[in-house]
Structure 1
Amino acid sequence: MSAVTMSGRSGVEGGSLVQRAIDAVRTHIRTEGLRVGDSLPGEGHFADKLGVSRAVMREAFGVLAALRLIDVGNGRKPRVSAIDGAVIASSLDHAVSTAQISVADVWDVRRTIEIRTAALAALNRTDAEARAIVDLAEAMDRDHADMAKVAAHDIAFHDAIARAGKNALFVQIVSSFAPLMQEAVPAAWKTREGPEDRAATLERHRTLARAIMDRDADAAVQAMDAHFDASIGDILRGLANLEPSDV
């Protein structure tokens, strides 16, 4: 079947051949009920079926791989990819760097999402997941003098809470905040002037971890809300003090 007869319109009227090839691959995944890790036919199969060149299909596969919808590699068939927060992270970074949204906008959305993940974690976590969350809160305390380690523990802490909630979409959205947190967490800590202030921040993390350990969803929500109440001002002040090229 030719590219024209597929839609009854010319290539120009029907959109680019590459876009139509992308749509065809996505339709194949959906209609065949493919799941993560399942193999897809190769470029030649789709090229013959759609009446397009292999160059068109190669470009379509490249776009799909860049969007993390398929996984391609040398010497093997393409496979269906797992959902990947890196795509969201890239969009967020672009939006912030081009002033389409502000850091405050991102943190407002993050606050809303993470209050819900805290409740879900308290309800759905396993014992091992609860222990890991507590361990990460304690690791932040132990390594409080090393900002790189604190940032890594903090990112892992929020990621672990999202994973314990058992909602895969929340996991990916929370993970998409990680690149910004790598700048924001150390910047925020620099605005916390005394040891009492830093100790209070660490205690808020421990309080949240304990609420999840205790399966107390209401307390977890309150703890996450208090965490953002106290932290967001520090984060925004810290980022305001960075050079634009540093964010």
Structure 2
Amino acid sequence: MLNKTLVPQSVAREIQSMIQNGSLKLGEKIPSQREFSQKFGISRASLREALLTLETLGLLKTEAGRGTFVSGGPSSASNHMAPWRYSDSYSVFDVFQTRIMLEGQIASLSAGRLTAIQLDQMERLTRQMEECWAKQDLLANVEADLEFHAIVASACSNVMLRALYQNVREQLTETQRQPIPITDPSRMNASIAEHRRIIVALRANDPAVARLEMETHIRNTARCAGLDP
């Protein structure tokens, strides 16, 4: 049985496939949550999580009083970022600012601690990001990005920082999805190149460069979202 984290991911992937194969067409209103949850055999809470993920990626758009519609994805010039999900608690600016400080320090403390297997996996994930972006598999692109950053965090020598990363991971990872609808190919290519520079610094066991490359990467992602933390 799929756990409560994998269920929304699995359903989001199915809905993305329906959009890609034309079962759900651009501009079409998707079925009601009741109908969709029955179709997939999941709870409405899991369905809502899947729909929110797809909306953040720009594949769906909710219009007040009308429903949820298939959007254009990042290739559509009219697309814009979805509303920030955590606005009741933190601004997206604050989360990006926290990411720069937290993940920069984590990268510094992870240098020299990642195994060859982990570093090779980060290389594979970076290639996966590149390949999935090329075929507009946005879910797989972002999932590879999330796993890349999680591997770095898992090697941090400071147990408290690792725990802090896990405690705020939902908010941190949302900033990795949030800019996708307005990300053009040149920015994605740059992001992938930044990942590779992070790997080089970590392989070289260079804490200062690892920190700098991670901070630069997150700051550039924030700028893509129209922010300058």
Does 2:96 match 1:107? yes
Q: Is 1:225–2:195 an aligned residue pair?
A: no
Determine the structure 2 residue equivalent to 1:78: none
| 8 Å contact kept, 1:192–1:234 | yes
Which of 176, 194, 207 does residue 185 from structure 1 map onto? 176
CA distance, structure 2, for counterparts of residue 181 and residue 146 of structure 1: 21
Structure with the higher helix share, 1 or 2: 1
User: What amino acid is aligned across from residue 107 of structure 2 in structure 1?
Assistant: A
TM-score, normalised on structure 1?
0.51
Alpha-carbon offset, residue 181 of structure 1: 4.9
**Aligned CA distance change for structure 1 residues 182 and 113 (closer, same or farther; 3 Å):** closer
Q: Aligned partner of 2:117: which letter?
A: A
Q: For residues 123 and 135 of structure 1, do their structure 2 counterparts lie closer, same or farther at Cα, with a shift above 3 Å needed?
A: same
For the residues of structure 1 that align with 2:226 and 2:163, how far apart are their CA atoms?
23
Is the Cα–Cα contact under 8 Å of residues 122 and 199 in structure 2 kept in the other structure? yes
User: 1:77-128 CA distances to partner (integer Å, 9 max, x unpaired)?
Assistant: xxxxxxxxxxxxxxxxxx9342x43121122112101111111111322222
Instruction: Specify the structure having the higher radius of gyration (Cα).
Output: 1
Q: Residue type of the partner of 2:150? A: D
Contact 1:134 1:210 in 2 (8 A): no
Unaligned residue ranges in structure 2 (runs of 5+): 1-84
* Runs of 4+ that moved beyond 4 A: none
Structure 1 match to 2:65: none
Matches within 5 A, 1:59-74: none
Question: Aligned residue for 1:9?
Answer: none
Tell me the equivalent position of 1:86. Answer: none
Q: What is the distance in 2 between the residues matched to 1:142 and 1:102?
A: 32
Q: Deviations over 1:34-82 (max 9, x none)?
A: xxxxxxxxxxxxxxxxxxxxxxxxxxxxxxxxxxxxxxxxxxxxxxxxx
| Counterpart position of 1:151 | 142
Using the TM superposition, name which of 217-226 and 162-171 deviates more: 162-171
TM-score by length of 2: 0.55
Cα separation, partners in 2 of 1:105 and 1:151, compared to 1, 3 Å: same
Could you tell me which runs of 5 or more consecutive residues in structure 1 were left unpaired when the two chains were aligned: 1-94, 238-247
The amino acid of 2:202's aligned partner reads I
Secondary structure, aligned partner of 1:175: helix
Task: Among all aligned residue pairs of Structure 1 and Structure 2, give the percentage whose two residues are the same amino acid.
Answer: 21
Structure 2: distance between partners of 1:178 and 1:159: 9
Letter in 2 for 1:96: Y
Give the residue type in structure 2 aligned to 1:112.
Answer: M
Is the CA contact (8 Å cut-off) linking 1:130 and 1:213 kept in structure 2? Answer: yes
Alignment RMSD (CA, Å): 2.3
Aligned to 1:200: 190
Pair 1:139–1:235, CA change in 2 (3 A): same
What are the equivalent positions in structure 2 for 1:40-59 lying under 5 Å apart? none
